[in-house]
Every structure is written in structure tokens, then in C-alpha cells.
Amino acid sequence: WKVLVSATVVVAADHLLRGLYWPESVFGVAGAAPWRWLEHAGWVLFEDAFLTLNCIYGYRELRQLSQQQVEIERAKELEHQRALNLQRDIMVLLVVVADASEGNLTLRAPVTSGSLGNMSDAFNLLMEALQRLMGQVRTQIEQTNQAIDHIRESSGKMALGAATQAKEVYHATQMVERM
């Protein structure tokens, strides 16, 4: 709109000077009224008013589009950052799962927000349940080994007792035969 001011002044000055010295070139008649240049300047101002309004509306529209573009760029950057964070969290979870698959049941996945955090939490619960189960299996194995040891010891005592009885029966049989 700043250009319009200087252009309006130039057009008004042009019409004034040509109206005084060569009216046919600007008004199309040889004898024009001395104030006719003001009429033309008024029409130019009338056009300037609409051009100024359109410039203001255009400026507002460009400003609004610029703000929308900034918001889109921010949202895009935020989404990109979320994608990077999700990718990093997935990689961490995969490393923990791979290590756990090799037998290390003490590992726990870091719990983050969102659905991946829920997955990590479920994985951790699974690892705790497996760890408890393995503890129960270990306890059962220990109890079974103790029972086996007890049976082995009892079998040994029974075998010793049977051998002693066999000797005693043998001695008794020989005594009966002598009599």
C-alpha cells in the first residue's frame, strides 16, 4: 500500500500539469476546467481505497497461511520426534527380549508411555511369572533330590538289614542241621 501513496501523488501531479499545459492529452478536450485534475485524482483515491483493502486482506491471509505453515512444521517435527522415540524404544525392547530368550530371566524392559509401554509392562509381568515358575521348578527338583537321597539311604539300610537277616538265617539253618 505504500507504493499506492507515491503513485497517487505522481498521477495527481501528472494530471495537474498536463491539464494546465496540454489538457487534450489527459482529458480528451482542448479546454478543460482547471479543477478537473482533482476529479481524476479522486477516482484514483477511490481505486486506492479498494486496492488498500485488498492489500490488507491479502496481508491477513498471508499471515494466517504463514501461521498455519508454522503449525504444520511444528506438528511434523513433533511427529518425527515421536517416531524416533518409538523406534528407539522398540530397539531397546528387542534387545531385552533377545537377551531374555537366551535365558536371562532377570532382565526387565523399561516401561514408557503408550502402547509400547503396555507391551513392555506385559513382558515384564511375563518375565516375573517365568522367574517364579523357574523358582518353583528349582524347589521341586531340590525336594525330589532330597527324596531320592532318603530312598537311597533307606534302601541301603534295608539291603544291609536283609544281608544281616540272611546271615542269621544261614547260621540258624546250620544250627538246626547240627542238632
3-state secondary structure at position 33: coil
Q: How many CA atoms lie within 13 A of 23 on its CB side?
A: 11
Reported as type and span, the H/E element at residue 147 is helix 115-178
CA distance 155 to 42: 127
Per-position b or e across 74-94, b if 16+ CB within 10 A of its CB: eeeeeeeeeeeeeeebeeebe
CA-based R_g, the chain, Å: 52
> Which segment of 9-13, 15-19, 48-52 scores lowest on mean pLDDT?
15-19
Query: Per-residue pLDDT for 150 more than 80?
Result: yes
CB contact at 8 A, 151 and 158 = no
- Give the integer Cα–Cα distance in Å for 170 and 50: 137
Q: Given a cut of 80, is residue 115 above it in pLDDT? A: no
Among 130, 99, 121, 118, residue whose Cα is nearest residue 91:
99
Scan for cell 544281608, then name that residue. 163
Least confident span in 28-42, 128-142, 159-173: 28-42
**What's the predicted TM-score (pTM) here?**
0.51
Arithmetic mean of pLDDT, 119-144: 92
With 70 as the cut, is the pLDDT of residue 1 above it?
Answer: no
Between these two residues, 143 and 8, which has the higher pLDDT value? 143
**Is residue 33 predicted with pLDDT exceeding 80?**
no
